[in-house]
Amino acid sequence: MGQYTTGWQAQDFKTIVTFGDSYTDENRLGYFGGHNGSPPPVGWNAGVGYKTSTGGLVWPRYASIYSNSTLYNYAVSGAVCSNNITPRTWSTINAPFPDIAGYELPAFIADSKYTAPNGTAFFTGTPADTVYAVWIGTNDVGNDAFLTDSQVVGKTLSDYVDCVYDVIDGLYTNGGRYFVLMNLAPLNLFPQYAIPSQGGLKSTQFFKDKLSVAGGNVTEISYRMLETVDTVNSIYEYRTPFETRVNNTWPDAQVANFDVHALITDMYYNPAEYLNGTAPLNVTGYVIGAGNISLSDRDSFMWYDELHPSEQVDRVVAREFVSVLGGSSKWAKYW
């Protein structure tokens, strides 16, 4: 299978398993918060999250609806790939946010082997009909992590990328054969990290001490984020074909690189092709900063808050994710 050809067919995938942070989480962080930091038990049914980082449904739920697939979502808001690289403390539990390497991946593996007392297997996917999606990095490269030089001493962006591919290793060893890697979003366009002329903010609910960074130079912070995201995404672009074609790391596996960065950037510069709300189209403001607006008005906004895409953006990401599964998305390359 080559870069420009693929045997993927959306109807072949009956199960979607997702890993990530608040861009993907439905309600898993809420469990930790409501149980003094304890994780959900093995075989926990997460259910549908109706109040997520978008203010409504989140992209993997829409993807499961659009593709008529079963969703197993292990993402946790606030997560990074590994707390051994960029640990970020969650004040609610006075401990780091659960990460992919230390919690999400082990949780899925445990669930995949779990059988309920009545003899029913919790996980119903098979290697042939299950696709695994990993979208992580917003917190890893953001404030309280690489952006503010808060990573573990000696750790670099390469360590973060290594972690992502280690996750694929773990899933492959557990039987996974189809993977979608989603690269970093254009974080320098989000209100939290944008330049002032594009709606960049001096501080946000997620970055309260922003003015203490880089001498309070919002533009410098934005440009550093731009450079970091571009660097990481360039690594993704070349690392996947190396692992699959040169190193043959995962025999018989198939990996799609989903360029969600390019997709969201296109939404930003061509909003009329994607946003469809009843208010004027808005790519610099955000829903929760717009006051009392209707649900239909919300679909005119790129962002739900300073750091998260709107529900309409997530619908588009979900639609294109399903196109990736169908082998027909212009935003993906297959290896």
Asked if 308 contacts 24 with a C-beta cutoff of 8 angstroms, the reply is: no
Residues 26, 228, 97: CA angle, nearest 5 degrees:
35
Give the 3-state secondary structure of residue 283: strand
In a structure prediction context, what are the per-residue pLDDT tens digits for the chain, which is 335 residues long? 344 456 799 999 999 999 999 999 999 999 999 999 999 999 999 999 999 999 999 999 999 999 999 999 999 999 999 999 999 999 999 999 999 999 999 999 999 999 999 999 999 999 999 999 999 999 999 999 999 999 999 999 999 999 999 999 999 999 999 999 999 999 999 999 999 999 999 999 999 999 999 898 999 999 999 999 999 999 999 999 999 999 999 999 999 999 999 999 999 999 999 999 999 999 999 999 998 899 999 999 999 999 999 999 999 999 999 999 999 899 999 99
Helices (H) and strands (E) in the chain, counts: 8, 10
According to CATH, what is the number of the domain 10-258?
A: 3.40.50
Scan for tokens 């990328």, then name that residue.
161
Paired sense of beta strands 70-73 and 301-303, if any: unpaired
If DSSP codes are grouped into helix, strand and coil, which group holds residue 21? coil
pLDDT of residue 3: 46
Question: Residue 310 and residue 304: Cα distance in Å, rounded?
Answer: 4
Q: How far apart are the first and last CA of the chain?
A: 7
The answer to pTM > 0.95 is yes
User: What number of other Cβ atoms are within 10 A of residue 88's Cβ?
Assistant: 18
pLDDT at 183: 98
Strands 254-258 and 332-334: antiparallel
* Nearest Cα to Cα of residue 209 among 288, 147, 156, 157: 147
In this structure, are residues 79 and 99 in contact, taking their beta carbons and an 8 Å threshold? yes
Alpha-carbon radius of gyration of the chain: 19
Q: Exposure of 290 by Cβ count < 10 A (0-12 exposed, 13-18 middle, 19+ buried)?
A: middle
State the Cα angle at 34 between 171 and 288, rounded to 5°. 90
Q: Report H helices in 21-139.
A: 28-34, 59-67, 105-112
Number of neighbours of residue 124 by Cβ within 10 angstroms: 13
298 near 55, Cβ under 8 Å? Answer: yes
Cβ neighbours of 158 (radius 10 Å): 12
DSSP summary character for residue 207? B
Q: What are the start-end ranges of the E strands in the chain?
A: 15-20, 70-73, 89-90, 95-96, 130-135, 178-182, 254-258, 282-286, 301-303, 332-334
